[in-house]
């Protein structure tokens, strides 16, 4: 979408203004519960006349039915397909809706992640523009058109993308890895051609009605508005979804730990073998989050300075790149190590990775490795907050995971206080090197 000149100028100026604002000692976050039941988090930032809003609902992909994996994402995608007619307001098809947002120089979107169904709004705060943008967002939330022809077209595009992805070893590895790590938990389900064919427009309407409700909404706002104005905006947006009521959601099963190691080797005609190694990890709210975050930077998250990169690439030349990460979600996400290598070197690369993980779990980082990780992460903290989008992401993270309001102010202290023993203890508690999933796609016998 092409943004008109005032908003483009505001966006160009934003990183510097936000960086100047966040250089202060604290980043004040206001929090309150709206009359609708929605929880609101606001950072009032008057530097430029702009507002970013994100509303998160418990309607991510983990809420998909097994036979309709992809339903949450399809629902989010079709939300931009148009709006239905309302009293005194004609219907808008997808092109008219897109033009209406372009005329305002504003943006509205929807997406679904593993846990969240999210809608976002970005607009200037000049009173007339703000009023019209909020009104259009409320209308889009209240009366999606759910056009059948748009879904049929979008489904064909998704099916074509799925078919093309089947030609990549990474697709095969990710599917097998997810099923092995998550077993029957929805985190392990993947969108397939048969699940897309099973999704009807009526299913999207029902999914939206059940999950996009004000009583469970988390509203995060960053911009040039005060609390009173923010509350009035939330009034308009939550009124659009309050008619959905507050239907109870089913409890989801936990992500179970692995009972034994799983080793999957799949033939695939490719120049490079795809290797994934890992296991269930922890939820984002785990008390050892910081120890795992910093420790993983040393193990495989720090690029060329990580231990995995040193041992697998630098010393042995088995790969161009190897990395590890913890997928932090509302339930236990996966710990995963990923690399590609020559098919005839895959077995050796797997052996080296496993040995590096065993040693790290047993001993943790060295003091020098830990200090280097702390220095890098703390010195780079400002880059985590140097734009409105990044600041909003952090506020939404605080809201979604119910973190302390001073989280952004205490982040460096949490990093600084960690010891080698803290990290070793956390990794020994969470990781089981002898009970991991290993998937190799494209290895030669």
| pLDDT per residue as tens digits for the range 209-266 | 999 999 999 999 999 999 999 999 999 999 999 999 999 999 999 999 999 999 999 9
**pLDDT, mean of residues 66-74:** 98
**pLDDT, mean of residues 70-81:** 98
21 pLDDT exceeds 70? Answer: no
- Six token digits for residue 102: 């372009």
pTM beyond 0.85: the answer is yes
| 1 band by pLDDT with thresholds 50, 70 and 90 | very low
CATH classification code of 262-409+417-441: 3.30.830.10
Burial label, 122 (beta-carbon count in 10 A; 0-12, 13-18, 19+): buried
Q: Is 320 helix (H, G, I), strand (E, B) or coil?
A: coil
Taking alpha carbons only, the member of 393, 178, 404, 366 closest to residue 287 is 404
Residue linked to tokens 């998937």: 439
2 pLDDT exceeds 70? Answer: no
Q: How many CB atoms are located within 10 Å of the residue 181 CB?
A: 28
> What percent of the chain lies above the pLDDT cut of 90?
89
- Six token digits for residue 308: 């995995």
- Six token digits for residue 43: 């950072």
Position 443 scores a pLDDT of 77
| 20 band by pLDDT with thresholds 50, 70 and 90 | very low
What average pLDDT is seen over the chain? Answer: 93
Fill in the DSSP letter of residue 417: T
11 pLDDT exceeds 70? Answer: no
| 438 band by pLDDT with thresholds 50, 70 and 90 | very high
Q: Is 343 helix (H, G, I), strand (E, B) or coil?
A: helix
**pLDDT, mean of residues 407-420:** 96
Position 381 scores a pLDDT of 76
Domains 24-244 and 262-409+417-441 share a fold: yes
What would the pLDDT profile of 262-276 be if each residue is shown by its tens digit?
999 999 998 999 999
Position 445 scores a pLDDT of 66
205 pLDDT exceeds 90? Answer: yes
What would the pLDDT profile of 341-372 be if each residue is shown by its tens digit?
999 999 999 999 999 999 999 999 999 999 99
280 pLDDT exceeds 60? Answer: yes
CA 425 to CA 433: how far, in whole Å?
A: 14
**pLDDT, mean of residues 421-445:** 94
Fold of 24-244: Cytochrome Bc1 Complex; Chain A, domain 1 (3.30.830)
Position 3 scores a pLDDT of 40
**pLDDT, mean of residues 426-430:** 98
- Structural domain spans, the chain: 24-244, 262-409+417-441
419 pLDDT exceeds 70? Answer: yes
Position 66 scores a pLDDT of 96
8 pLDDT exceeds 90? Answer: no
- Which long-range contacts does 353-357 make (Cβ < 8 Å, 24+ apart)? 353/275, 353/277, 353/308, 353/312, 353/322, 354/277, 354/433, 354/436, 354/438, 356/299, 356/307, 356/308, 356/311, 356/312, 357/277, 357/299, 357/431, 357/433, 357/436
CA 198 to CA 297: how far, in whole Å?
A: 41
CA 231 to the chain's CA centroid: 26
């Amino acid at each position: 979408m092409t943004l008109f000149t005032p908003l483009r100028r505001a966006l160009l100026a934003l990183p510097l203004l936000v960086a100047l604002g966040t250089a202060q000692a604290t980043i004040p976050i206001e929090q309150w519960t709206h009359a609708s039941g929605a929880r609101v988090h606001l950072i009032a930032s008057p530097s430029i006349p702009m507002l970013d809003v994100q509303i998160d609902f418990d309607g991510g992909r983990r809420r998909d039915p097994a036979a309709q994996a992809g339903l949450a994402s399809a629902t989010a995608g079709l939300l931009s397909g148009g709006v239905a007619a309302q009293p005194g307001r004609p219907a808008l098809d997808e092109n008219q809706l897109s033009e209406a947002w372009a005329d305002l120089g504003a943006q509205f979107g929807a997406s679904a992640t593993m846990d969240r169904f999210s809608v976002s709004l970005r607009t200037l705060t000049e009173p007339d523009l703000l009023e019209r943008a909020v009104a259009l967002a409320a209308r889009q939330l209240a009366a999606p058109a759910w056009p059948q022809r748009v879904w049929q077209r979008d489904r064909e595009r998704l099916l074509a993308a799925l078919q093309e992805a089947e030609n990549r070893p990474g697709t095969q590895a990710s599917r097998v890895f997810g099923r092995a790590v998550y077993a029957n938990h929805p985190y392990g389900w993947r969108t397939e051609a048969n699940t897309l064919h099973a999704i009807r427009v009526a299913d999207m309407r029902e999914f939206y009605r059940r999950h996009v409700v004000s009583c469970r909404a988390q509203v995060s706002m960053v911009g040039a508005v005060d609390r009173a104005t923010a509350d009035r905006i939330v009034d308009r947006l939550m009124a659009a979804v309050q008619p959905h009521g507050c239907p109870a959601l089913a409890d989801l099963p936990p992500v179970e730990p692995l009972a034994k190691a799983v080793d999957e080797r799949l033939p695939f005609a490719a120049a490079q073998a795809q290797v994934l190694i890992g296991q269930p990890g922890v939820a984002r709210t785990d008390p050892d989050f910081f120890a795992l975050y910093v420790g993983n930077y040393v193990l495989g998250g720090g690029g060329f300075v990580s231990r995995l990169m040193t041992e697998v690439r630098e010393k042995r030349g088995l790969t161009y790149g190897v990395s590890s990460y913890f997928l932090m979600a509302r339930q236990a996400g996966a710990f995963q190590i990923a690399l590609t290598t020559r098919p005839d070197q895959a077995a050796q690369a797997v052996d080296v990775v496993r040995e590096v993980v065993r040693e790290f779990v047993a001993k943790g980082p060295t003091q020098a490795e830990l200090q280097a990780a702390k220095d890098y992460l703390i010195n780079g903290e400002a880059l985590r907050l140097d734009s409105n989008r990044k600041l909003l992401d952090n506020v939404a993270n605080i809201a979604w995971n119910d973190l302390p309001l001073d989280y952004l102010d205490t982040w460096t202290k949490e990093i600084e206080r960690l010891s080698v023993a803290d990290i070793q203890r956390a990794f020994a508690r969470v990781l089981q090197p002898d009970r991991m999933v290993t998937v190799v796609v494209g290895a030669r016998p």
